[in-house]
Structures are given as structure tokens and as C-alpha cells.
């Protein structure tokens, strides 16, 4: 039986999608999120469909102690992870001067600190298992986004960190991927309280997962997979455009001046 895959943000959206895909491939899964009722329902579904072991860890990743607590719980249960999918995250949409400070702190904690520290906690096991690390970033991380400043900045960090880990672990057998979807049919926009993020075509969760696994299953995967041809072109244009032009275009795209 393949090793266990730890998945954060597993109660809905892309995280739940990864859990279903990995369970269908015969992996045990560890489902991590705040909403225990949703995790329990998903775990029961996966056990029944695929006869795998699904472990539920109801954890709030806004708690700075959460990554160490997850690692300790895995060790106590004798679970040595072969994979980690950091899918938990959320965004806020407004001018930076108008952002709620507590909400920004939680956003950085979940999107950056929890992801970073959980990856560090589990990375030795992932390398030993010649497993997989997927960090769910965003197309928004390819450029600064006025009006979505904190969210875009956190995702730029996620992509950068993942690329560095990809290089550091080359030759170990570990597969490392920064997955960068654009707008996706999830609860993301409701949580953000705005549809400002809906720039470009909206993809289904299955569309995103198809591209993720196509990248992971390839013989020599790139460290970054941006979902959708149009988003890939947009990301390339953002990298080569002059900064002032890039910022003006980005501001207009999300409804700014």
C-alpha cells in the first residue's frame, strides 16, 4: 500500500479533491482542517469507496502551534507521511490601508507560516519516502496585485519557497510542485467576501487536479505548474513587463484605478 498523504484544507475545494484523487490511487490520507464534521464525512466516504485509512485531524492553522502539533500527532499515531499537500489558505480583498489587521495576521499565518513550518516538520520523512510535496500557490502570486496585496504577496512567497525546495531536493526522488491555479469553483470567493479575484476563466476543481497530476506524473516535472494556457501566458507577461506597466495592468484587472 502506498504511503499516507497529509492534506491541509481538506474539508472542501482543492484540498478535498486531492484527498479523493490520492485515495483513489490507493494512498492512506490524513485530512487536516478546522471543520471536523466535514472531515469526518469525507473520511467515511473515502474509506467506503477505496478501502484506505483516512485519519482526521481537526486543527486550526491560524494557531502558530498547529504545525508542530500535527507532526507530533502523526508521530504518536505511527504515521510516517509519504506526501504533503498544503492546500489550506484564504485571501482578503481591499486596499491595504483598509485591511483588518487581525484578518491580515491570520492570512499570513495560514498561507505562509503554517505552510512553511509544516513543510519543514515533515520534509525529512517525505525525502526518505521519495514522496511528494505539493504547495498550492496561485496565479495571483506571479505579480503584485493592488487591491489583493497581501494575498498575492503570500502566494509569491509560496511559489518562491517551493522552487527553492525543488532545487535543494533534486536527486532525492522527492517530487516537489508549486501548483498555481487561477479562479476555481470553490468556497474561496465567499470566504474572501469579494469576487474581485475572478479574473479570467474559472476552472473546476477537477480541471486543477488534472493539471496537477499531469505535472506530478511526468518524468521530469517542472517546479511550478500554472493552471490554464491563458494564465501561463499572463504569468510570463508579468515576468517580462516593466514594473509600472505591470502594476497598472494588474490594478485594472482587479477593478482598481
Catalytic machinery residues: 151
CA–CA gap between residue 24 and residue 201 (Å, rounded): 28
CA–CA gap between residue 227 and residue 50 (Å, rounded): 28
| Residue 88 and residue 63 in contact, taking contact as beta carbons nearer than 8 Å | no
Please enumerate in sequence order all residues whose Cβ is within 8 A of that of 145, keeping only pairs 6 or more positions apart, or say none: 151, 152, 250, 251, 253, 254
Strands 132-136 and 224-226, sheet pairing:
unpaired
CA–CA gap between residue 19 and residue 33 (Å, rounded): 12
Give the torsion through C-alpha atoms of 202, 204, 206, 207, to 10 deg. -20
- The burial of 74, by beta-carbon neighbours within 10 Å (0-12 exposed, 13-18 middle, 19 or more buried), is given as buried
Amino acid at each position: 500500500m502506498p504511503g499516507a498523504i497529509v492534506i491541509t484544507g481538506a474539508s472542501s475545494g482543492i484540498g478535498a479533491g486531492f484527498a479523493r484523487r490520492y485515495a483513489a490511487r490507493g494512498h492512506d490520507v490524513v485530512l487536516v482542517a478546522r471543520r471536523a464534521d466535514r472531515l469526518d464525512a469525507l473520511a467515511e466516504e473515502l474509506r467506503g469507496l477505496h478501502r484506505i485509512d483516512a485519519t482526521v485531524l481537526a486543527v486550526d492553522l491560524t494557531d502558530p502551534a498547529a504545525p508542530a502539533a500535527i507532526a507530533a500527532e502523526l508521530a504518536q499515531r505511527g504515521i510516517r507521511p509519504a506526501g504533503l499537500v498544503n492546500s489550506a489558505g484564504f485571501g482578503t480583498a481591499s486596499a491595504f490601508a483598509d485591511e483588518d489587521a487581525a484578518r491580515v495576521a491570520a492570512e499570513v499565518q495560514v498561507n505562509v507560516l503554517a505552510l512553511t513550518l509544516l513543510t519543514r516538520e515533515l520534509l525529512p520523512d517525505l525525502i526518505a519516502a521519495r514522496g511528494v510535496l505539493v504547495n498550492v500557490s496561485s496565479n495571483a502570486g506571479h505579480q503584485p496585485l493592488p487591491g489583493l496585496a497581501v494575498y498575492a504577496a503570500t502566494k509569491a512567497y509560496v511559489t518562491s519557497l517551493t522552487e527553492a525546495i525543488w532545487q535543494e531536493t533534486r536527486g532525492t526522488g522527492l517530487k516537489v510542485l508549486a501548483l498555481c491555479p487561477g479562479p476555481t469553483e470553490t468556497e474561496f470567493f465567499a470566504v474572501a467576501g469579494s469576487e474581485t479575484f475572478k479574473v479570467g476563466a474559472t476552472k473546476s476543481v477537477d480541471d486543477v487536479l488534472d493539471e496537477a497530476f499531469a505535472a506530478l506524473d511526468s518524468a521530469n516535472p517542472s517546479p511550478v505548474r500554472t493552471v490554464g494556457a491563458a494564465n501561463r501566458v499572463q504569468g510570463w507577461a508579468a515576468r517580462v513587463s516593466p514594473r509600472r506597466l505591470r502594476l497598472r495592468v494588474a490594478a485594472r484587472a482587479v477593478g482598481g484605478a
